[in-house]
Amino acid sequence: MDFAKVEKRVRTTVPVVHGMMEAQELNLRIREDTAKYLLNLDVNSAYYDPKTRSMREDPLPDADPNEKFYAGDNRYRVSGQALEFKQLNIHAWEAFEKGQDVHMQAAPSQAELLFKNYKVIKEQLKSKMKDAIMEKYGNAATVEELPKELLFGQTEKEVEYDRAGRVIKGMETSLPKSKYEEDVYINNHTSVWGSWWKDHQWGYKCCKQTIRNSYCTGAAGIEASESAANLMKANIDRKAQPLKTSSPTEEKRLATWGAEIPEDLVLDQKKLGDALKKVTPEEMEAYRMKKVHHDDPMKDFVH
């Protein structure tokens, strides 16, 4: 059926009014749209009220929304001008409750003008509040660099307030977390103590020393310590190797005081004669006085 060719039919029944023929036009409805209650014939589908000819729910909820011609009366009530009209009514009721002499049915133009002024004033207040907040706290979306006081103003202190805004606890002065001064370089070091770790010992990264009060020797100290460590490892490896078997050597049997005298011992007769000479007590006393006892701890104080 070509709807462009649908024309108006003219009924020419001839009622005569004051001697003239009156033609009456009769507009015929075009019923190309499917009725609401025929979109979905399922018994459990959306309810259709025949008295008000309304179907509030969507009769085809699973269909493609781009191909839907009708999606229920609720959709039209919350979209378009219907939503604006609803907001206008709510504003008129609230304004009347607050003392404004406005009535939507009695003076709709006045209510609409009042609602427009209300929206303009509301947007102005929002913009003013936004500008005040941005001026006080700044805007993180801008390219301007924030001051260091704001960037590094973080704290881990917990403060407790009461309902009146008074501080209950939490403003006490906190003790420093470390007993050592931070970023302080001593003894020509270029790094702090504890910047290097090896073999369960802390040290300086610049010279790799594990003694806290040591003086920094730089790269030369690192090379010296590495060479010493390599030499120590070499000595340990050398000692760990099995000893070479050498030819047995004859032991010299020496006669010591209190030991048994070997049979093949040869004595010097001259020295033996001098030793057997009679020594007077005065000479023995002089010998004892002049003799230095190296194992005596008081020898340095006597002489």
201 beta partners: 198
User: In Å, how far are 7, 155, 168, 171, 174 from 162, measured between CA atoms?
Assistant: 81, 20, 7, 14, 21
pLDDT tens digit string along 11-36? 444 444 444 444 444 334 456 777 88
Contacts of 254 (CB under 8 A, 6+ apart): none
pLDDT tens digit string along 181-231? 777 888 888 888 888 888 888 888 888 888 888 888 888 888 888 888 888
Calculate the CA 209 to chain-centre distance: 34
Would the pTM of this model clear 0.75, i.e. be above it? no
Q: Which residue has the tokens 């006085």?
A: 289
pLDDT tens digit string along 93-133? 999 998 888 888 888 899 999 999 999 999 999 999 999 99
Q: Which residue has the tokens 């609401």?
A: 36
Contacts of 212 (CB under 8 A, 6+ apart): 193
